[in-house]
Amino acid sequence: ETGVTQSPTHLIKTRGQQVTLRCSSQSGHNTVSWYQQALGQGPQFIFQYYREEENGRGNFPPRFSGLQFPNYSSELNVNALELDDSALYLCASSTGGSSTDTQYFGPGTRLTVL
Amino acid sequence: QKEVEQNSGPLSVPEGAIASLNCTYSDRGSQSFFWYRQYSGKSPELIMFIYSNGDKEDGRFTAQLNKASQYVSLLIRDSQPSDSATYLCAVNPPWGSQGNLIFGKGTKLSVKP
């Protein structure tokens, strides 16, 4: 167990809807990164939050947005859901500030878009 | 395009053998390298990280890094059926923010009793 928690575990939505996924970072960690993992693929970086500010973004459209709270927990919001958004969404926490920081993953949220 | 390449496998080894997993990366300036293990339906679990050229050992696992060849590998000695999983190689590129990782697609390892 890494101490990173995510909710919900599973979620089913229909195309066009909006979804919010939540992540609580490991104690002492101030950085949260979000990844999308499609079936049979490696995780793809969505964005990272460091001390409540976005600190880097991958190649995802603006309908993917996020937030980090003062307690360093984080949300991932996805608007106008598409079928291809069906994936495992992973949150990873780290201490931040260095390229050598190790990221610890939560259990993930499985999103299915119908 | 920054890339991390892995043989998707499956790699099948008998119990007790050495499993060798390989990974190449395209960005020569990459600084840190990670191996994660992912069981089916679960999230990635960190096995090892390596920053310097050479070998790093942790129990049955050895990570090897050759920056000149842009190559990183993971050796698993005395492989056990419980090692059967997908192994993900991840690289932190120098251009990125402090924590974004680029992952390969993973190599599926099967250890046969």
Q: Check the CA dihedral A61-B100-A65-A92 and report its sign.
A: positive
Do the chains contact at B100 and A94, CB–CB below 8 Å?
Answer: no
Task: Work out whether strand B54-58 and strand B71-76 pair parallel, antiparallel, or are unpaired.
Answer: unpaired
CA dihedral A61, A73, A50, B25 (to 10 degrees): -60
- Classify B35 as helix, strand or coil: strand
Give B25's strand partners. Answer: B4
Query: What secondary structure does DSSP assign to B46-111, as a single string?
Result: EEEEE-SSEEEEETTEEEEEETTTTEEEEEESS--GGG-EEEEEEEE-TTS-SS--EE---EEEEE
Do the chains contact at A99 and B43, CB–CB below 8 Å?
Answer: no
Which pLDDT tens digit goes with each residue over A13-45?
A: 999 999 999 999 988 888 999 999 999 999 999
Do the chains contact at B46 and A104, CB–CB below 8 Å?
Answer: yes
Which pLDDT tens digit goes with each residue over B23-82?
A: 999 988 888 899 999 999 999 999 999 999 999 999 999 999 999 999 999 999 999 999
For A83, phi then psi, to 5°, come to -55, -35
Least confident segment among A89-93, B52-56, B67-71, B100-104: B100-104
Chain B residues within 8 Å of chain A (Cβ atoms): 4, 31-32, 34, 36, 42-46, 49, 51, 88, 90, 92, 94, 96-106
